[in-house]
Amino acid sequence: MNLGSGSLYWPVAPRPDQIIDIYLCEPFRVRAGDGDFKALPEIVVVGPQTHCHAEVCLSGEIHVFNILFQPAGFSRLTGMDMTSLVNRDPSAADILGRQAHVLNHSVRVAGDFFGRVAAAERWFDRMLEGRRPAGSFDYASCHMMDVGGRVRVDALARRSDLSPRQFQRCFTTRVGMTPKAYARTIRFDQAIRAHNEAPSRPWTDIVHDAGYFDQAHFIRECHTLVGIPPSRFGEDWRSIFFPARG
């Protein structure tokens, strides 16, 4: 996509995803609060977002290669405490060191999209050698995503053979949020995605499908998470980037 001399702005909405972005042309620019817009590095790690705290600006030629992780996938890859990535978008080199440059170069020299996917998959195969296999927290967090956050945390804890307190502590380290906050963010993301896909669809239907008690519950969540009611979700909110999930 080429925006020419124009620019596109959108708020960074709460969302549960962990992403590596590789900017093949113009990097996005981001500002937090009332600060200045700053260009991102060529390759960044975007952690889960718990509230609307920043704004993105796109300009020039836009071509981004996104790598979307399973909920506990980045922790499995790096072994890091994911709470340190919440509401952050650091340079991938700060997290992955030299391996970030290897991934960036491998993706850039590939001839097309499928070549980039193959290059990224080879990089992940090398990085995951000797890493722990997927475990109970990988399955629990994926299940929570699959059911839109509508699952009892104590039931997930029982399946993992841990006490609720142990499960919450370990889940938070692997995913970046407590199970309750993660479920809350999934529900909100699901509602915003549905509104983005069908702006004329009644909010009553959307919030019911997303698992909210009623529309008043969703309105309170909007004020808490993004500071505005759903009636103010205008054109900038319909332009929000939503990473595709397989």
pLDDT of residue 232: 78
132: phi then psi, degrees, rounded to nearest 5: -65, 145
Residues 130-184 pLDDT 10s: 777 777 778 888 889 999 988 888 888 888 888 888 889 999 999 999 999 999 9
CB 176 within 8 A of CB 45: no
Residues 89-133 pLDDT 10s: 999 999 999 999 999 999 999 989 999 999 999 999 999 987 777
Burial of 87 (0-12, 13-18, 19+ CB in 10 A): middle
Residues 184-236 pLDDT 10s: 999 999 998 888 888 889 989 999 999 898 889 999 999 899 888 887 776 66
pLDDT of residue 120: 97
Q: In whole angstroms, what is the distance from residue 242 CA to residue 180 CA? A: 22
Cβ contacts of residue 16 below 8 Å, gap of 6+? 48, 71, 145, 177, 182, 185, 186, 189
Q: What does pTM read for this prediction? A: 0.86
pLDDT of residue 243: 67
pLDDT of residue 196: 83
What 88-91 contacts at long range (C-beta under 8 Å, 24+ apart), as own/partner pairs, is 88/46, 88/47, 89/30, 89/40, 89/44, 89/45, 89/46, 89/47, 90/44, 90/45, 91/41, 91/43, 91/44, 91/45
Q: In whole angstroms, what is the distance from residue 93 CA to residue 22 CA? A: 12
Query: Residue 240: is its pLDDT beyond 70?
Result: no
Q: In whole angstroms, what is the distance from residue 190 CA to residue 211 CA? A: 9
pLDDT of residue 60: 84
